[in-house]
Amino acid sequence: MNIESAINLEDLRQLARRKLPRIAFDFIDGGADDERCLIRNRQAFERYRLLPRYLRDVSQRDLSVSLFGKTYASPIGISPTGLAGLFRPDADLMLAAAARDANVPFLLSSAANASIEDVMAVAPEHVWFQMYGTRDDRINMDLVERARQVGVRVLVISVDVPVNSNRERNKRNGFSRPFRMTPSVVLDALGHPAWVLRYLRTGGIPMMRNWMPYARAGASAADVADMYGTLTPAPMISWDHIQRIRQAWPGTLVIKGLLHPEDAREALRRGVDGLVVSNHGGRQLDTAPSPLEMLPAIRAAVGNEMPLILDSGVRRGSDVVMARCLGAQSTIFGRPTLFGVAAAGQAGAARALQLVRQEIDMVMTQIGCRAFNELDRSYLWPAPE
């Protein structure tokens, strides 16, 4: 199967499975503990039905959305995903280019392999920078300053990783930080020669370039990854840290990972401009509720002014439509574009975005809605218990 013959996101996932060694595929695909949160994220969409309205002129549809002063072509974007360079060299740059060409946001992870400076050179109007708080506040504030200096408009702080989670697939596969080519990994990788050749040609373990300025001179990629592991997670990160970042950051500030309505209210009180409602794609707390479940309560908590973006579990255009009906301005997803770039580079990431946009357009036509921003609860019907 080539990339153009992929007709849905699951096809991209299967293409990536064929091209990646198990240790790499499972790192993308897996969740925490028993991975029930992964299932719950998908099941949440099954609670609702989309109720169509017919005999309406839907010959033209408008899928555009406005977020933080910029209009994007589609109500989707690419979630932050770390270590993308392990799956394909320069994957972060490819993801940024795909987002730029589709006119949607790309949330660059601070745990990416490409630096914020290099990625902003590719897509200066579409990159949002996502960062975790670290144990060193000087580094926290320096990351904020670096984002400001290169012209980032939207800064996203992820707050849902106070501790490394129990990702059992990684443990079974021997995935450790830094990544090491153990004999079992080598044996499995031999079945994926193209990946092995790219891995060897680019020098093996990819560098986490955002963190090079904080490492000793001449540090290797493994050294930088080890240093990153001493700085994160940072369980001491609190609202006080958010307040300091808010005071230092002149642009749009977004928090990613809040699920409790009272936390959402506190974010509003602290001057946060928007929220990404997310459970980290089921990769942190396996017993957490799905973001879709919490979306109505969070919308009620913050009112209609604060933009909400749904992350975690989005795999169909109908999911994006349902999220809008329940109060989200837009949605983002990470695994599908990461599978796409692993399978076919920039073309694979672009295909993932294209497929979801096509599905959104088709669903909106089916239910009689001409503009994405006109979607509301009137298009939903609760699913039978």
From the list 126, 192, 241, 280, the catalytic residue is 280
Is residue 280 flagged as an active site residue?
yes
Buried b (16+ CB within 10 A) or exposed e, 220-229: ebebbbebbe
Please tell me the distance from the alpha carbon of residue 299 to that of residue 328, in angstroms, as a whole number. 8
Cβ 307 vs Cβ 68: under 8 Å? yes
Q: Which residue, among 236, 266, 270, has the nearest Cα to 133 in the 3D structure?
A: 236
Longest dimension (CA), the chain: 67
- Strand extents, DSSP E, 125-247: 127-132, 154-158
Please tell me the distance from the alpha carbon of residue 273 to that of residue 259, in angstroms, as a whole number. 16
Cβ 318 vs Cβ 359: under 8 Å? yes
Q: Which residue, among 251, 92, 297, has the nearest Cα to 157 in the 3D structure?
A: 251
Q: What is the dihedral of CA 179, 182, 188, 190, to 10 degrees?
A: 100
- Which residues are the active-site residues? 280
